[in-house]
Amino acid sequence: MHAHADDQGRPLGFKLTGGEVSDYRAAEDLMALPIATPRMLLADKDYDGDIVRDTLLFCGILSAIPPRANRAQPITCNVLRYKDRNRIATRYDKTAKSFLGFMHLAAATLWLPRLFNWP
């Protein structure tokens, strides 16, 4: 699961992919969503590639992507921002449809307080 979120961690769009699909492909799909351009990308080591980093730089997006252990030239990462990305870390649903339904429910719980001025 890949998500496009605002600066408060509220999801704006999702892309559900299989485990064998490259994270590079998901990044391209998320960038193509008709949503405002983000200021920063929080992602795991699978997104650490020169293609993704160059695309982000071209679009004016900061990156918080930890470098892979085997990277020849290590790149610094904002660790505090990176830790915020793991809101839903493990997937227990058996089907993509039920998992996506759960994601929509989780998104609603994050957005409802803002929409209705709840504490």
Output the tens digit of pLDDT for each of the chain's 119 residues.
777 777 777 888 787 877 777 776 777 777 777 777 777 777 777 777 788 888 888 888 888 777 777 777 766 666 666 565 555 555 556 777 877 888 888 888 888 887 777 66
CA nearest to 18, candidates 95, 98, 104: 95
The answer to whether the beta carbons of residues 85 and 44 sit under 8 Å apart is yes
CA nearest to 27, candidates 43, 6, 45, 10: 43
pTM, two decimal places: 0.56
3-class secondary-structure state, position 106 = helix
Cβ-in-10-Å burial (0-12, 13-18, 19+) of 77 comes to: middle
